[in-house]
Amino acid sequence: MTLRAAADGPSCYSRFVNEWFCWQYVEDRHDQIADALVEHVTITVAALLLGVALSFPLALLARRVPRLEALVLGFSTGVYTVPSLALLPLLVPFTGLSAATVVIGLGLYALTIVVRALLDGLRSVPDDVREAARGLGYGRARMLARIELPLALPVTMAGLRVAAVSTVALTTVGTLVAYGGLGNLIAHGVQRDFRAELTTAAVLCVLLAVVIDLLLVALQRVLTPWAAGAR
């Protein structure tokens, strides 16, 4: 608490006042809030990248071998049904009480959305486009990189946006292993009935989800300039 606040009386986030929002709390604890926000962003981005890295080969495998599609989708959906209260403790013996535990857990949760988005995106590519590419001498790998993935991008990005917003929210459960970013502040606010801390962290989570979603929309527009006319 600042000297000015002490002279004027109890601050708006003291135990005597305990308001739901207090800008003085943000000013006094800005270092703590910034550290939690940076940790939240880092874990969220790392988990999304891991989810995409795992989803890409799984989606290609499911498309290449139709018999395995049900198995791949069942696995990705099954992981999502495991409660975080169970999944994170299962990872602790292998990764310890570290941010890696949360990143791996959230990356696995993202599979159920990203794998389906990639499959739907690849299936949205018209067959006549593939036939034309084959006629021009495109091999399987070149067609995937130059034709299919760019055309599948709008559908894939829609799924990635859902996964990103979901991951921002799920990152808060990392407080189970002390790496929950803003979730640590939320948990502390709930335990201590610290309203200003709870509200500030919750609002930042919402704003972070909106910012990441807008960044993905902007990225999609940069990567798909041909779709500007249609929009």
The answer to whether residue 7 scores a pLDDT higher than 60 is no
Is residue 1, in this structure, part of any structural domain at all?
no
Give a yes or no: residue 97 inside a domain: yes
- Dihedral sign computed on CA atoms, order 88, 210, 208, 224: positive
Does residue 142 lie in a domain region?
yes
Domain membership of residue 150 as a residue range: 32-222
Q: Is residue 96 part of a domain?
A: yes
Q: Of 160, 161, 159, 200, whose CA–CA distance to 181 is shortest?
A: 200
Q: What is the pLDDT of residues 107-135, one digit of tens each?
A: 999 998 999 999 988 888 877 878 787 77
Per-residue tokens: 185: 């502040």
- pLDDT one-digit tens code per residue, 172-211: 888 888 888 888 888 888 888 888 888 889 999 999 999 9
Over pLDDT 70: what percentage of the chain?
93
DSSP 8-class letter at 177: G
Write the CB contacts of 190 (distance below 8 Å, at least 6 apart in sequence): 198
Of 154, 145, 174, 134, nearest to 41 by C-alpha is 174
Read off the CATH number of the domain in which 41 is found. 1.10.3720.10
